[in-house]
Chains A and B, each alone.
Chain A
């Protein structure tokens, strides 16, 4: 192996250690019996399932609304495109508690949009819908950007040829662009789901209850201390690790096949 590669591997290893050390320490330092007991705790399992479910709703909404926008950002040429791109990236940059307050001031029952939905029977404050909304706002950029990059990687001539072969713009999208961009979309969706699960700041402002796992961890830490918060955190880390590793593997296998 060349010196260059050894140097690169050494630097990479330092970063992996920095990333893995706190997680490994937390996982290995927890008694498996305590973990089993925590999993049996109804409040914990319900909270983890709620987190997964809300992140899934957010991701599905992201797929429905984010992919068309990603396609426009990749293929469109229009005034204000860079401003629009900046707007998409905004949730990555601003503090999520600030995002939560901004959401509350739009979707709260006392505000026009929130009031309108409340009349339809849909409330976003302290509801599963509110959690999903907060998760969607903060994690949408991951899906949109991954899908946009995926669309950009599709050779525009493939789309042009498809048009000359009789396909309408909609057929070109569904039969050429979308299948070729699938990998980017799947990666983006996994990232969005993951980011949704880990969301705390925006969720706690808009919907403290029902409690998602990050809020439960914080609540136990605040009320009972580290001993009670740690098993829930370890459990969430382990579940996420297994799920994301599995999803990544499935996505990679899909691409190879």
Chain B
């Protein structure tokens, strides 16, 4: 449906570099990246608010690179919703229809239908400054969708909200996508939000797309340390693949390459990464499950609301991280404290090899 080919753009000191994306009809696509990765510039470029210096943007096969934003027919919602403060909720939602010169009777019908869909009919006479964050978001969505846009562009629409409202509105976005069947392009820095909503996602770093795929694919096989860190991974051990094909990882010794999901072809420097769930405290007596078993010293621990995070030192002082639930720590023979030695096992499953920087 929407295709970005080799899009490059420089704004001030920031560059978008050779962005290639293909968003399918009806897809919910999330762009995940930290602040300053260029997500908003990319979104505004798709909306037509920035003109790329190179590359093409096409919508359903039609080149729209040079088309003005008002003629692209995309709905857009900004992080702080950007509701017109001088217009009532009704006139905010009706804005695009009034611009098009739609008949008043039809405007009333369409706005009414949209307000009903988002359950904001009781707010139509209010001004935006008298709305809560959640209400603002619904109004912004209704305004963006009332003229049946070809696509919905969302710029971190949930990041300004408290946890409770965010969870509720995440479900609301999912409902909008499913019930209206609209193609959504959503940018965020929140991993949970991306996993909850995305059909497919792309990870952005310093103006470039560094990995694309389903959330599951990216989480399982991050291509770079940056993506792995973004996916919440904390364990990265320097490793070397010898010419004989053996993996020598710091702290873990020599590993059999067969335990990896993808075996690299070339010898050289790599990083072995694994999620903290791959580190089991008091492991089962089954050697086949683990690539490494032994004693580790707790160097730091942090008790959260329902989990405990551990920083562990392996016998050669290599640091790894793990976490377990409060209930699991209750089952330990004695309460864990920093300095205590505990038996751990690092599971083969979840081990992943990344190219070193």
Residues of A at the B interface (CB closer than 8 Å) are 155, 157-158, 160-168, 171, 175-176, 179-180
Contact = CB atoms under 8 A, between A and B. Distances in A.
B243 interface: no
A3 B158 CA distance: 44
B44 A160 contact: yes
19 contacts: A155-B82, A157-B78, A157-B82, A158-B82, A160-B49, A160-B76, A160-B82, A161-B78, A163-B68, A163-B69, A164-B69, A164-B74, A164-B144, A165-B75, A165-B99, A166-B100, A176-B84, A180-B85, A180-B86
A164 B76 contact: yes
Contact of B70 (A158, A167, A180): A167
Contacts of A180: 84-86
Main secondary structure of the interface of A (DSSP, over half): helix
The 7 closest A-B pairs by CB, nearest first: A165-B96, A163-B69, A164-B76, A157-B82, A166-B99, A161-B82, A166-B96
Contacts of B72: 164
Contacts, number: 64
Interface residues of B, number: 26
Contacts of A175: 95, 99
A163 B153 CA distance: 13
Contacts of A167: 70, 95, 99
A154 B179 CA distance: 35
B75 A164 contact: yes
Given A161-B82, A165-B99, 8 more contacts: A155-B82, A162-B95, A163-B68, A164-B69, A164-B74, A164-B76, A167-B95, A168-B70
Contacts of B70: 163-168
Contacts of B153: 164
A165 B95 contact: yes
A180 B129 CA distance: 14
A172 to B, nearest CB: 9
Interface string B46-80: 01110000000000000000001110111110101
A166 B47 CA distance: 11
A156 to B, nearest CB: 9
A167 B47 CA distance: 13
Contacts of A157: 78, 80, 82
